[in-house]
Structure 1
Amino acid sequence: MSAKADPARAGQPGAGTSGDPYLPENGNGGYRTLHYDIDLNYRVGPGRLDGRARITAVATQALSRFSVDLSGLRAGKVTVDGKAVRHAQRGRKLVITPQRPLADGARFTVDIRYTGSPAPVPSRWGEIGWDYLDDGVIVASQPVGAPSWFPCNDHPSDKATYRISVTTATPYQVIATGVLEAKQSAASTTTWQFRLSQPTPTYLVSVQIGRYAEYSFATVPMMHAAIPARLAGRFAHDFGRQPQMLVEFERMFGPYPFEQYGVVVVDAELDAPIEAQSVSVFGTNHLDGKRGSERLVAHELAHQWFGNSLTVAQWRHIWLNEGFANYAEWLWSEVSGGEPAEAHAHRAWQRVAAMPQDLKLSDPGVRRLFDDRVYLRGALTLHALRRRMGETAFFALVKVWTSANRHGSVTTDGFVTLAQRHTPWPLDELFTAWLHNPALPRLPH
């Protein structure tokens, strides 16, 4: 399902709503974003950000006004197609009124200059977005944090390309989503310029700033890392099997969907790794020299297919992201000499069975967007499907799923329909039990 066809993109001019049943106030109706061109100048000490965003978009209806998401930062000059326009900030929305209404189908460019001290966005899941390390910056935007550092249309189905330029003090390294195209130093600052050519939702765009050492994987040139220098030994061991992991995932899921893959280990402990397009962010607590967090290494790499290349059209379909990434942990265990997926599935089933039986996987509700049961029951659903379909048909389905929807938006119905095309066995009963009924089914034999 394409973002253009997704009903979540519908909305009224200036209404400031995406139409998403879970997070309607994030994202905006009336247009579709094509490209973001972002220039940031950031001073680490005072935490001051001066930014400029040029947003290219297409109106999906006639627009007398429209809005973008922007939180905690103050917009200065705003133009539409080069002409200064009236604008007003209302809560986390920047409402823009063009000099003349935009026609349905019109392509337009918004230029926004903004400034302030960025801060994470308060949410029911904690503070999310641009945040501070002891000596640097960490950005974790899922699901509502992107407006903490750039004006945007903050909905997962609104996927665009990006150019991101970051200027900061020279001792710091900048890692952002995309390919580093240029790096230029002048006086005491360095400017880093990145290009992200694949359509990407705002929550998966990231900037990390810190004093890092570079690490390269000799066997896989497209893999790179930025880590605290003192942790190089542990990183080399704990992430040493990541190239092999990539080979196995490409065999099971199809070709890796991006030009490169980066890992950042920030100099802080994190509750969980952070997913971003072509980059994953870990904490020092994920390095123990014993590969104790290798399942998380697998989980985040798998997200590059499931969540990043294939992005949910609405948040209620999140099991398609987390279920596949969680199942990838079990698949990696299976092919790398650990426990088979069957053993992981039985253990997960016991764990979920001990939890309340009140979650509908296909529509868990906004409160339970990141509930453990979304992850575990999502993986169990895929394991049950694998059992029912058989090895050959199941992995053929997965490869078609990733190739047919590459860099697009996906839904639960789309997956169910495609799965049925790959087997003569009826799947209605299985999917009803696992996706739509709260009670946990038994694993099929």
Structure 2
Amino acid sequence: MKKLIAHLKAIGFVFQGSEIYGGLANTWDYGPYGSLMKDNVASAWKDFFISQNDNAFLIDSKILMNPLVWKTSGHLSNFSDYLIEDKISKKRYRADHLVEEHLPHINVAKLNETDLEKIIKDNIKTIENKKVEWSEIRKFNLMFETYQGVIENNKDKIYLRPETAQGIFINFKNVQRSTRTHLPLAIGQIGKSFRNEVTPGNFVFRTREFEQMELEVFTSPETSMQIFDEYIKKSYDFLISLGLDEKNLKIRKHSDEELAHYSKATSDIEFNFPWGWGELMGVAHRGDFDLSKHQEASKENFEYLDPHSNKKFIPHVIEPSIGLDRLLLALWCQAFSEEIISETDTRINFQLPFGQSPIQLAVLPLVKKQSELALKIKKDLQKQKIKVVFDETGSIGKRYRRYDALGVKYCLTVDYDSENDLSYTLRERDSMQQERLTLEEIIKKISI
């Protein structure tokens, strides 16, 4: 991971947050190319789950909402982790993660607070060969608090949202009424969420500020399990469509003990990260929990009248949810490789999928006097919606290596013969093979 993180910083994908002031723990800023790739992946999600589907719509709800939303949803009472502290080092740990790491044979999902504390104190006597002395376990709410207005008091306390889903639930009637659609109705949202994690880590895998891509599919109780199964497959297909390899993905069904308080069933799609398998995307059957709770608390009627059966019911909800930052990390981990070309030559090959790469093609004049033609080609390619960069600095070999490391799939070289025969050398990143093609042939080839 250290090599990947250093590489991402060097090529302008990710920088340490607040770096000039020593940084802020576990915060990361996206640089020019990281921002472009993030937009590409978000656009792919919107196209796959919204544009290509009937009765699917986007909304943009606010980070700050009435605190009654979080009281009603159960976040104020249930959205907590168990925290335990080493009194010697003053380091804090998430208790369930501590047991999973040091005692992997124990199923933490079945353990309560008392069990967790006893198991940790009885079995984990050292961390990294250093003696530990454990505190008592305590609950730690993950929601960030702030205040609305100029005077801080409990009446004005509000929260940074820990998920985007609740903004969708409270707007269900607004969307259904304004779009005049029948169920199943899918409402999606991409936006920032905030969780005051006890032990964030593994780069952008778990951070306190992150971006979610969530879809809530409202359906009848009778068809909900069928749609749940459909969206597990659909979510898996989405990840494959981005370029993730099947060998790095697996589907894991949650046991009854693992299920969240709102869930009837949940399956995770996990990715094989450098440290092991970790959740990448989750699909949850939330039942009618959220709409029922909000109907009870707000007195707003969330019932739906089925036009075919003429029956009223509170819709059930299927939720495919994925963290955008975590998805980017999976793509980066899979793409990064160091290759030995010969005894004297190595390269970093960042094998980003063509569709998600911030730059898809680099136009390279062999010498600077060919720059005018190269710039014209760049503009012609941009008209075809191809993401292009122009570079005339350095030897052609060094420029090839530069764009291999940046994840650029193709390099187009303008050489001495190009002005006469209007053909160019197209080099493919992974194979390093080259072929001579006209501009029309190049556009056709890379647009497949």
TM-score by length of 2: 0.29
Which structure has the greater CA radius of gyration? 2
Structure number having the greater helix percentage:
2
